[in-house]
């Protein structure tokens, strides 16, 4: 889902990376459309089946095809999620079903995941990649946290 707004100059439009907290029922039609889009990478995980940090990281490595599985830890996860060069210029849609169960089962770590998306990964692709990476290009990244 793209949210467009005018830039300060009023000449161009820019996207806003965002987290959408909703229900599967409410978002199902939109997500089914997005799954068919060739220009984006669609990743869906079942938060209700994830019961530990290790299971979350293993799921993310598999679903996002993150390299270097032998060094799987949270810092490496953040590094790879702000790389994603193997996805090319595709926009990213990440869907976590059973979000409340994920938080309930994973407590502080579950909250750490959401905060890392909100404060690190999405801002990176929104603007920081331009400032901090040679030749870096913004990437539209939307996260759906669904119950």
Q: What is the pLDDT along the chain (147 residues), one digit of tens a residue?
A: 333 333 333 434 457 899 999 999 999 999 999 999 999 999 999 999 999 999 999 999 999 999 988 889 999 999 999 999 999 989 999 999 999 999 999 999 999 999 999 999 999 999 999 989 878 899 999 999 999
102 touches 143 (CB < 8 A): no
In a domain, 4, yes or no: no
Q: Determine the structural domain holding residue 98 and report its residue range.
A: 12-146
N- to C-terminal Cα separation, the chain: 18
What CATH number is associated with residue 33?
Answer: 3.40.50.300
In a domain, residue 5? The reply is no
């Amino acid at each position: 889902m793209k949210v467009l707004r005018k830039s300060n100059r009023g000449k161009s439009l820019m996207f806003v990376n965002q987290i959408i907290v909703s229900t599967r029922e409410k978002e199902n039609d939109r997500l089914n459309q997005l799954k068919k889009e060739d220009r984006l990478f669609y990743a869906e995980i079942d938060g209700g089946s994830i019961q530990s940090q290790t299971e979350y990281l293993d799921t993310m490595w598999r679903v996002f095809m993150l390299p270097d599985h032998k060094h799987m830890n949270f810092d490496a996860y953040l590094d790879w999620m702000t790389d994603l060069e193997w996805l090319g210029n595709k926009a990213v849609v990440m869907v976590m079903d059973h979000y409340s169960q994920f938080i309930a089962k994973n407590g502080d770590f579950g909250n750490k995941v959401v905060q890392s998306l909100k404060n690190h990964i999405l801002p990176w692709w929104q603007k920081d990649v331009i400032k901090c990476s040679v030749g870096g290009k913004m990437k539209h990244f939307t996260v759906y946290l669904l119950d």
